[in-house]
Structure 1
Amino acid sequence: MSRLVVISNRVADPRKPAAGGLAVALGESLQQSGGLWFGWSGTVVEGGPSGEGELHRQQAGKVTLATIDLSREDHDSYYLGYSNDVLWPVFHNRLDLAHFDAGFIGGYRRVNQLFARKLLPLLKPDDVIWVHDYHLIPLAAELRAMGCRQRIGFFLHIPLPPQIIMAAIPQHEWLVRSLFAYDLIGLQSHQDREHFDRYVVDEAHGTAQAGDMYQAYGQSVRCSAFPIGIDVDEFMELTHAKEAQEMCQTMRREYSQRRLMIGIDRLDYSKGIPHRVRAFRELLAHYPENRRSATLIQIASPTRETVDAYGDIRRELESLCGAINGDYGELDWMPVRYIHRMVARKRVPGLCRAAAVGLVTPLRDGMNLVAKEYVAAQDPADPGVLVLSRFAGAAEQLKEALLVNPYDTHGTAEVMQQALQMPLEERRHRHQKLLQRIREHDVHWWRSAFLAALAETVQVTD
């Protein structure tokens, strides 16, 4: 059996419960092959460019965890700069928030070269390499330039934008050309693959061939959709565990006279949280029977708080929630409960189970696993209703959810009302179908399908 080598920006110990379903799923294959997981240590050291960053190794069962430190300069240009101030906003269709600083790309290239240089001596001839996400798009090209001939796959966890949006990146051709150094590119949705198709054909003047193969820049690559899932059984076990049950009982006791609607997100401009809160205000304004009845609990965990755009959205959200509570609240009823902090993973299933409506309404998202977690947490005898943005990758699979356009405030409010009024029989039917879908394409299917496709893909280096 070939050894699996996983490369990602951050590394997780797959044995720890806090690692989450993705780390556990990858950990299964890593443990089978005695694999290697390589990435940034999370440590930033003061000084100039990393050059030869220090390599750290530790064992996690049969898995070797190998990490390197980054200098302040590299971290700021590679991670904060190019990855999160260029690629993140552009790939989420927010050109207005992108900062095309000419200095960022130098750090991005430098760190990918550093990763390649430190990883190469650790590789074995028959390793299978799996690179993850937008931080490391050019890694395969750097490895190939250093003589690496192993099979290399890449999975993009965030959405791939349309051709015209992608072309706004000053170095977009170099970025897409770098992808052709991989043997297999995995994307979250068929729409993402269509965006790749259009770029290759119309922008790179390449060709789409049989078997999801594409040719451009004198190279070939296979590109397919592999929608990521969750570990359904693991999340259901969490739902029935003590912490989740206590959370569910507490919420139902404290809100015994209310219908709970819940949103669980990182405080990110891609999640559409202010749009969701405005739609809830519209619900209260146009369907007054929900006053003193419906309560929105919005959890927005902190993220990248040093970036101006995140401070702006936090202030906007706090103002919106305060205005709604001021306009509609009563002494014994607060319409919106806004929580700006992390909620322990063990409690999340309890929150989901207690909510009559789950609101997952991003403006753009690669997949959004909260939607699938909400479905898995429900009581099949009396399930809640999932309201899902059509712009989340999950919408391609979860067709029995109530799909909304989060930019349409009034339309989203109407769908919220439909969810609150949905008869039990219809709720059960929709939930049964949704549960079937997330079971068919869970995180284990995703891992196996990608690795099987990588194994059968003709290598670009052959």
Structure 2
Amino acid sequence: MVVLANRLPFDLEQQPDGSTKARQAPGGLVTALAPILSRREGAWIGWPGSPDTELEPTTTDGLTLEPISLTSTEVDEYYEGFSNATLWPLYHDAVAPSEFHRPWWDAYRTVNDRFARRAAEVAAPGATVWIHDYQLQLVPQMLRRLRPDVRIGFFLHIPFPPAELFNRLPWRRQIMAGLLGADLIGFQLPGGTRNFVRLAKSLLDVPTSGGLLNYDGRNIKVGAFPISIDSAAQSALAATPEVHQAARKLRADLGNPAKIILGVDRLDYTKGIDVRLRAFRELLAEKDPSVDDAVMIQIATPSRERLHSYIRMREGIERQVGSLNGDFGRIGRPAVHYLHQSLPREELAAFYVAADVMTVTPLRDGMNLVAKEYVACRVDGGGTLLLSEFTGAARELRAALQVNPYDTDGVKDGLRAALNMTSVASRRQMRSLRRQVLTHDVDRWAEAFLSALEGTRDHSADARNRLPTEVLEALTKISETERLLVGTDFDGTLAPIVDDPAAARALPEALEALRSLSTIPGTVVAVVSGRGLADLRMLLGETDHMQLVGSHGAEVSSMSTDGSQNPEHTGRSELSATAATRLSALRRALQSITSQYAGVNLEAKPTGVAVHLRGADPDDAKAVTKAIEQDPATWSGVHLLRAKMVLELTVVATDKGRALQHLARENHCTGIIFIGDDITDENAFLALGPDDVGVKVGSGATAADVRIADPARVADLLHVLDATRRRGRGRISKDASRT
């Protein structure tokens, strides 16, 4: 595996004797990824941290480091300029204004191209390449053009903004297209995923279906993958005698205060350091009892020190600290201890263990790993976490005291509550937090992302080997039609048959292929089932760009102009007064017949009733069937549909064949493929034309053209159809563009 990030996980420093010394670099990305890459013996491509420095690749702790050289001008324009003065504030809710300069954009493109070219050189054939964060958003597309054989994942560690903010960016389309070069795009939270999908639709007119996008003839997955830390290692470090001794010494050096309040942040305007200092000042000014014998420690890791905005921010923070100590400090006992430096992991762990209250108050943060580090270090079960609700961590660490950092009174109240929390309440909070952090660690995050990335590989080649030759030939022929209707049943087709209909679930592989098919131009996808429409919606989940037909055609979903489902309109057949009266009588009669038999279940539908016999004794099932056939099935205006261990009686004359023909007419389709397993699907097979394809799932007599074994093969068929039609439509598009 090859990882690309702006920084190497180690600062490479050239020594006077010409050798290179590696020192682990600060930052959440390094904390999260370094352990994984070391275990995998992968390669990491990144900038070593010093401009105008040419360094050779080196290997340390099982990890090959590939340094990328940046000139001083590129550091100014690509890193401090476009990355941190244009993108960073924009992606953090514009808490500071962004600057837009064309030379910065040019430098950003140049450096991204350099990273892409190095990755193309380093990656083995078919390798996995994992690109990280906002500094390298053009690399996926650039690398895709250079090395179409590699699998590309991109993960954004900071928030992805809503359209109202992102659209301010003059190069918004280029950034979106750059990201869409990846096979998988990951975000910290579902909100970032939703923002990206909406922008892909609005800016680039990208067809989407759930977490699947189609761009440039490829499928791209998007999803949320909340990052974490190596929590077991952090806990083990905090449990060492050396760390506990250092924590005791720290308290003693501070004069053994009743409470220690801790803040650990990069010195950045998004971190809300001024917010907590202001809240602490007000508590001191009010002589609040909670701070009578409390001291605050603020560790501010140096960050982007050449940027004027950061220089001014540091000056402001240090003025706040000086004012606090001048007004409320005593000889040998300042109110705030301020450290503007990076601390080694062992020393930082001692601060975590010593602190009674951890304050994490960013105005906006993609995740915030400091909060998780504090929790992991509290092996003693003590300590209280005060957490901004605008961090990604707030979604996971729900037991923390959460505050709005824009509300000084709220932060002050939260700090007071944290200082006054009883030992019992604090331990209860920490138990819950530790359970979350220790379970959802960095390995779980990486495994989730990499498994999803592996799942983006084209499985159609393997699927082809599992399908009969006649099926493959039929798919090749039907995929060439101009406008294709792909129809499929649900139970026994997308989902294996189960005893309890409520427990049926579609195979994820089949749903993924269906959603992918729905994004191909000139392709209409429909699920045609005997189930009610509401039931179908619940079982299928995300169904944008898919037509749903329920109750054997009595209910048809309507779609909005953008292809999304319109839940307020079902297209349900309206019952006449006579039919409604007949339906009520039918329900009463069936209830009377079935109530004496165990294992027989009735399912009410908008235009009828389904009698499920699968759970009944075979003799009871025969008795129920005979009673129904002799009475309600003979009523005028009642229609009997037979399925596998299901009898369905309706007061509306409809079937899947009529529904399929209606869909084909409405969508001007030139060809149909329908896949089904049941007796009720035979009406659909009989309605097909000579150039259409019917696919029977399972055994039994059929009017279908070809047969496959089970729902697993349905998933294979849909994947092959998707790949075949996508290739064909790509050729059509290229031919059209040449004419």
Taking structure 1 as the reference length, the TM-score comes to 0.90
Q: Which amino acid aligns with 2:56?
A: H
Q: Tell me if 1:214 matches 2:196.
A: no
Aligned position for 2:454: 455
Report deviation, 1:185: 0.7
Report deviation, 1:166: 0.9
Report deviation, 1:375: 0.8
Supply the distance in 2 between the matched residues of 1:34 and 1:423 (Cα, whole angstroms): 47
Q: Tell me if 1:37 matches 2:29.
A: no
Supply the distance in 2 between the matched residues of 1:220 and 1:55 (Cα, whole angstroms): 38
The 3-state SS of whatever aligns with 2:49 is: strand
Aligned position for 1:336: 336
Aligned position for 1:163: 163
Q: Tell me if 1:252 matches 2:251.
A: yes
Contact preservation (8 Å) 2:151, 2:457: no
The 3-state SS of whatever aligns with 1:353 is: helix
Aligned position for 1:420: 419
- Deviation per CA, 1:334-382: give whole Å up to 9, x if none: 222222222222111111111110000011111111100111112434x
Q: Tell me if 1:5 matches 2:2.
A: yes
Report deviation, 1:431: 0.7
- Deviation per CA, 1:259-290: give whole Å up to 9, x if none: 11100111111101111111111222345213
Supply the distance in 1 between the matched residues of 2:94 and 2:159 (Cα, whole angstroms): 12
Supply the distance in 2 between the matched residues of 1:150 and 1:80 (Cα, whole angstroms): 30
Supply the distance in 2 between the matched residues of 1:22 and 1:456 (Cα, whole angstroms): 24
Q: Which amino acid aligns with 2:384?
A: V
Contact preservation (8 Å) 1:262, 1:357: yes
Instruction: Indicate how the Cα distance of structure 1 residues 27 and 354 shifts in structure 2: closer, same or farther if over 3 A, else same.
Output: closer
Q: Which moved more, 1:61-70 or 1:433-442?
A: 61-70
Contact preservation (8 Å) 2:52, 2:71: yes
1:394-405 → structure 2 map (5 Å cutoff): 394-405=393-404
Supply the distance in 1 between the matched residues of 2:208 and 2:255 (Cα, whole angstroms): 55
The 3-state SS of whatever aligns with 1:338 is: strand
1:5-404 → structure 2 map (5 Å cutoff): 5-12=2-9, 18=24, 23=30, 26=33, 30=37, 34-45=41-52, 56-60=56-60, 62-94=62-94, 96-210=96-210, 212-215=211-214, 219-253=218-252, 254-286=254-286, 288-331=288-331, 333-381=333-381, 383-404=382-403
The 3-state SS of whatever aligns with 2:303 is: coil
Q: Percent identity?
A: 37
Supply the distance in 2 between the matched residues of 1:27 and 1:377 (Cα, whole angstroms): 19
Supply the distance in 2 between the matched residues of 1:379 and 1:346 (Cα, whole angstroms): 15
Aligned position for 1:49: none
Report deviation, 1:204: 4.0
Contact preservation (8 Å) 1:292, 1:335: no
Instruction: Indicate how the Cα distance of structure 1 residues 121 and 302 shifts in structure 2: closer, same or farther if over 3 A, else same.
Output: closer
Supply the distance in 2 between the matched residues of 1:424 and 1:170 (Cα, whole angstroms): 53
Aligned position for 2:439: 440
Report deviation, 1:243: 4.6
Supply the distance in 1 between the matched residues of 2:22 and 2:437 (Cα, whole angstroms): 24
Structure 1: stretches of 5+ with no match in the other structure: 47-53
Contact preservation (8 Å) 1:244, 1:348: no
Instruction: Please tell me whether Structure 1 or Structure 2 has the larger radius of gyration of its CA atoms.
Output: 2
Structure 2: stretches of 5+ with no match in the other structure: 12-20, 459-515, 517-722, 728-739
The 3-state SS of whatever aligns with 2:4 is: strand
Contact preservation (8 Å) 1:282, 1:409: no
Q: Which moved more, 1:351-360 or 1:232-241?
A: 232-241
The 3-state SS of whatever aligns with 1:42 is: coil
Contact preservation (8 Å) 1:140, 1:181: yes
The 3-state SS of whatever aligns with 1:403 is: strand
Q: Which moved more, 1:268-277 or 1:315-324?
A: 315-324
Instruction: Indicate how the Cα distance of structure 1 residues 128 and 306 shifts in structure 2: closer, same or farther if over 3 A, else same.
Output: same
Taking structure 2 as the reference length, the TM-score comes to 0.58
The 3-state SS of whatever aligns with 1:222 is: strand
Supply the distance in 1 between the matched residues of 2:231 and 2:58 (Cα, whole angstroms): 30
Supply the distance in 1 between the matched residues of 2:29 and 2:208 (Cα, whole angstroms): 31
- Deviation per CA, 1:64-84: give whole Å up to 9, x if none: 222221222222221121111
- Deviation per CA, 1:145-181: give whole Å up to 9, x if none: 2243211000111111121111111111210121111
Q: Which amino acid aligns with 2:6?
A: N
Supply the distance in 2 between the matched residues of 1:162 and 1:206 (Cα, whole angstroms): 17
Report deviation, 1:202: 4.1
The 3-state SS of whatever aligns with 1:186 is: strand
